[in-house]
Amino acid sequence: MNTSLFTFDLIAKDGQARAGVFNTPHGDLLTPVFAPVGTQATVKAVTPAQLEELGATLILANTYHLYLRPGADVIAELGGLHHFMQWQHPILTDSGGFQVFSLEQMRKIDEDGVTFKSHIDGSIHRFTPEKSIEVQQNLGADIIMAFDECAPPYDRAYSERAMQRTHQWAERCLRAKTRRDQALFGIVQGGVFPDLRQQSADYLTSLDLPGYAIGGLSVGETKVEMHAMLEIVHGILPEDKPRYLMGVGTPEDLINGIRRGVDIFDCVLPTRLARHSAAMTFSGRLNLLNAAYARDAQPIDQNCQCYTCRHFSRAYLRHLIVAKEMLAATLISIHNIFTLQELVRQARRAILEQRFAAFASDFLQQYQQNKTTTSSLTERKP
């Protein structure tokens, strides 16, 4: 496979933390990078122009959702995902696996693939590794994912079966892939079991893929277990390929992931929290619906340089929420996404300047300290 369109340059290392540049056909990603999620080919409540202004460089779109609606063939016909949603920077699509396997009552797995019922109209569909690649090739993202099975983290027998299936499926995805302008990432599975994680990282490394994702984490295991799995995988995956921790996006998880060698993250958290009136800051969360903010002239965060914080008060945001105005979701999403972009930018700078350990411990200390006070504040009803 020719991967020359997708080189990864490791610029600096500080402990296990890494700063790099991942070249893609739609531009360079400076890593560590955080990708906001655009499930339905839109990052909810935010325009592509606003995302650019926030400094977002990579976004994620969901294969399962776009396959069902409007259909990957429709998107291909209309020029592919970049043109369809007017985002000219890198895009990543997942394989559809995670959503399909989350359908619980609506799916049937065999060695060849998964049959499932659409959550929209109950119609029957089937994903195989080949089908997932066909759909992702129609969507046309820069980074695409191998079809994998994410098992419940504590079931060893299931984790082992799912891991083996994931390996066979990764090979089938590799054979099915024809587009040169897409990088196929393999996904390390293995639940919370060190030997399975090791086996999975070894096996996928042998496939010489342009990047690797770490899947099946942030699905109910403890933080200690998540960190232990990251450390195992870190020691095995090739240094000159990017590592992507799927579905992780609280500020502390980003810092703890970067500390353990992760380069790419994605999460729905900043936009989902925004739609539930919650603002993310470096010192914890604020529930802007709280009555305490009714006459509060301060911005969400005094130190934040985002559009929302430069212009609007907590009182105004609270008013928009109470009045059920759409702008509330937009303004809080802008702030939340900016906060995570700023966090990874600062982390990258700290790595380049060889002071990441101090940066991380200062950040986590401040975050934990304030979390207690802000969470007790957010629990108070308006």
Residue numbers at the binding site for Zn ion (CB under 5 A): 304, 306, 308-309, 335
The per-residue b/e assignment along 242-279, b for 16 or more CB within 10 angstroms, e otherwise, is: bbbbbbbbbbebbbbbbbbbbbbbbbbbbbebbeebbb
Shorter beta-carbon distance to Zn ion: residue 197 or 314: 314
Q: How far is CA 89 from CA 43, 213, 256, 263, in A?
A: 14, 20, 27, 17
E-assigned strand segments in the chain:
8-14, 17-24, 27-31, 33-36, 59-61, 91-93, 107-109, 114-117, 124-127, 143-145, 183-188, 211-214, 243-245, 264-267, 278-281, 284-287
Q: Are 229 and 192 in contact (CB under 8 A)?
A: yes
Shortest Cβ 305–Zn ion spacing (Å):
7
Q: Are 135 and 96 in contact (CB under 8 A)?
A: yes
Q: For residue 266, give the amino acid letter.
A: D
CA atoms within 13 A on the CB side of 39: 13
Shortest Cβ 54–Zn ion spacing (Å):
10
Shortest Cβ 313–Zn ion spacing (Å):
12
**Of the residues 14, 94, 263, 301, which is catalytic?**
94
Shorter beta-carbon distance to Zn ion: residue 206 or 303: 303
Length of the chain: 382
Q: Is 14 one of the annotated active-site residues of the chain? A: no
**Of the residues 142, 263, 266, 301, which is catalytic?**
266
Shorter beta-carbon distance to Zn ion: residue 269 or 309: 309
Q: How far is CA 371 from CA 103, 208, 366, in A?
A: 33, 42, 8
> The tokens of 191 are what?
């639940």
Helix (H) and strand (E) counts in the chain: 15, 16
Shorter beta-carbon distance to Zn ion: residue 151 or 288: 288
Shorter beta-carbon distance to Zn ion: residue 179 or 276: 276
Shortest Cβ 287–Zn ion spacing (Å):
16
Shortest Cβ 31–Zn ion spacing (Å):
23
Shorter beta-carbon distance to Zn ion: residue 101 or 338: 338
Q: Is 253 one of the annotated active-site residues of the chain? A: no
Shortest Cβ 342–Zn ion spacing (Å):
9
Q: Are 229 and 194 in contact (CB under 8 A)?
A: yes
> Pairing relation of β-strands 8-14 and 17-24?
antiparallel
- Would you please indicate which residues are annotated as catalytic (active-site) residues? 94, 266
